[in-house]
Amino acid sequence: MKTKTNFFFFFLVLFSLLLFSYYTVWVIVLPFVDSDHLLHRYFLPREYSVILPGIAAVVLLLCIGQTFTVVVVWKNRKPKKVD
């Protein structure tokens, strides 16, 4: 069981590292490369570098808000009276 957990966290860290590297190259390096260079074929247009993290932030905030609302409603729930 422990090796499955270690493998999962290793994969999660590797995925995060690859995503961070891709985004860093896309946002920081790519503006300094000529627009007809081969490297531009592997990246979306620059407008998406702001739109996609914005959408991800909104989805994250919605999930946090929904979780908070469910917890508050669950804690304030009154037990049913038994007659």
Please state, in angstroms and rounded to a whole number, the distance separating the CA atoms of residues 70 and 43: 39
Contacts of 33 (CB under 8 A, 6+ apart): 39, 40
pLDDT(51) > 90: yes
* pLDDT for 16 beyond 80: yes
How high is the mean pLDDT of the chain? 91
pLDDT of 83 above 70: no
Range 14-35 average pLDDT: 93
DSSP3 helix / strand / coil % (the chain, rounded to 5) = 75, 0, 25
Q: What's the pLDDT at 79?
A: 77
Q: Where are the domains of the chain?
A: 2-76
The pLDDT, as a whole number, for residue 2 is 74
